[in-house]
Amino acid sequence: MGANIFGTVFQIITFGESHGPAMGVVVEGCPAGVSFSWDLIREKMDRRRPGRFPWMSSRKEPDIPQLLSGVFEGRTLGTPLALLIKNKDFRPEDYHLIKKNPRPGHADDVWKEKFDHVDPRGGGRASGRETAGRVLGGAVAQMFLKELYGQLDIRAFPIQVGHFIRKDFTAFSERQWFGEQSKEVEEFLVQKKARGLSYGGTIRVEVDKPPVGLGQPVFHKLKSDLASAFMSIGACYEVSLGDQYFSSSVEGDKVKSIHRNINLEEGSRLHGKQDHSVYGGIRGGISTGEKIIFHLKFKPPASVLDVAKQGRHDPCIVPRAAVVAESMAWLVIADHVLWSRQDRLS
């Protein structure tokens, strides 16, 4: 069944509790012959790292993974890759209160209801720290895809935090995580953090130059598997294919024009016209080869004031969630690239 297994052909299984000995991932189904890149691993883990920005949680684990299997002389063997991250910044004493008072917005209470026996330290398995394994797995998916499709690229980045909205997506760098407004947003978050406040936001995911024909036509449509992947990220509560975000949900004046478009009022029938703003690079569940666009909305992290006072409160998770979303997208694309090898007789 695999509650902790993601993917069909290219699969990962993640394990580890936030305050247990280690977190990790096993990558299963990666073909033999892929060059393993430590640079990519380091880059991803750095982007995911807490404490990267001044307003982030001060929990600053280095998170340098060990590679335990699956690679020999720098290339994958076609066997499972196990990657391990030891938990070093382990302070059980901070969390003794949590047992008595389930944190708001967290799953402590329902988790208890479900399993009866739970690890209350830092959320245990429900901690966002679980996503470290996903990021490692996504990096392996990326190594695989980059060798086959040099031009394929995936980027996920915040485009809304609180009332800030980013509209220019052309330039992209990690330091400029919110484009030209990065500094402004950071100052805002530092201020709000002091008051124990939290902010949700929106992430835009772009898959550039994907192969045509990814996705299976009925239940494993590419949009279906991507939606499942993104919704498996803790705070994500909405996924949307295409460019609707800028029409229906943010700026009132654009809503109408898009409605005109997708509603085909004014006789502009869809003859010969494929509206990318709606289908977002996926038609009939299958990639068309054009850019795939998704928008994901995240709720603000719920937090406890006592924790916030100690500076370990994370007022906004979208930058880190973006790395996870990007990783999930790499995993889904890798999965379907392999799956599509089965489409035809030869």
Site for a second copy in 79-138 (CB under 8 A): 79-82, 84, 104-111, 113-119, 121, 124-126, 130
Question: To 5 degrees, how large is the angle CA 14–CA 295–CA 299?
Answer: 70
Residues 213 and 175: their CA atoms lie apart, in Å, by: 35
Q: Strand pairing of 5-6 and 66-67?
A: unpaired
- Residue 307 interacts with a second copy (CB under 8 A): yes or no: no
- Residue 240 interacts with a second copy (CB under 8 A): yes or no: yes
- Residue 311 interacts with a second copy (CB under 8 A): yes or no: no
Whether the Cβ atoms of residue 147 and residue 35 lie closer than 8 Å to each other: yes
Find the binding residues for a second copy in span 241-270 (CB under 8 A).
241-242, 244, 248-249, 252, 259, 262-265, 267, 269-270
Residues 92 and 83: their CA atoms lie apart, in Å, by: 24
Nearer to a second copy, 182 or 287 (CB): 287
- Residue 142 interacts with a second copy (CB under 8 A): yes or no: no
Burial of 134 (0-12, 13-18, 19+ CB in 10 A): buried
- Residue 37 interacts with a second copy (CB under 8 A): yes or no: no
Hey, is 187 helix, strand or coil? helix
- Residue 48 interacts with a second copy (CB under 8 A): yes or no: no
- Residue 152 interacts with a second copy (CB under 8 A): yes or no: no
Which listed range, 45-53, 64-72, 92-100, 178-186, lies at the site for a second copy (CB under 8 A)?
64-72
β-strand partners of 5: 13
- Residue 57 interacts with a second copy (CB under 8 A): yes or no: no
Whether the Cβ atoms of residue 203 and residue 159 lie closer than 8 Å to each other: yes
Nearer to a second copy, 170 or 267 (CB): 267
Which listed range, 26-34, 48-56, 90-98, 177-185, lies at the site for a second copy (CB under 8 A)?
26-34
Nearer to a second copy, 46 or 167 (CB): 167
- Residue 156 interacts with a second copy (CB under 8 A): yes or no: no
Find the binding residues for a second copy in span 157-186 (CB under 8 A).
162-163
Contact with a second copy (CB under 8 A): which of 88, 174, 180, 232?
Answer: 232
Nearer to a second copy, 151 or 252 (CB): 252
Size of site (CB under 8 A) for a second copy:
140
Find the binding residues for a second copy in span 321-340 (CB under 8 A).
338-340
Contact with a second copy (CB under 8 A): which of 122, 158, 280, 319?
Answer: 280
Close Cβ partners of 132 (under 8 Å, ≥ 6 residues apart) = 16, 23, 25, 45, 48, 63, 85
Residues 163 and 185: their CA atoms lie apart, in Å, by: 10
Question: Rounded to the nearest whole angstrom, what is the least distance from the CB of residue 45 to a second copy in the complex?
Answer: 18
Close Cβ partners of 97 (under 8 Å, ≥ 6 residues apart) = 304, 306
Question: To 5 degrees, how large is the angle CA 212–CA 44–CA 188?
Answer: 105
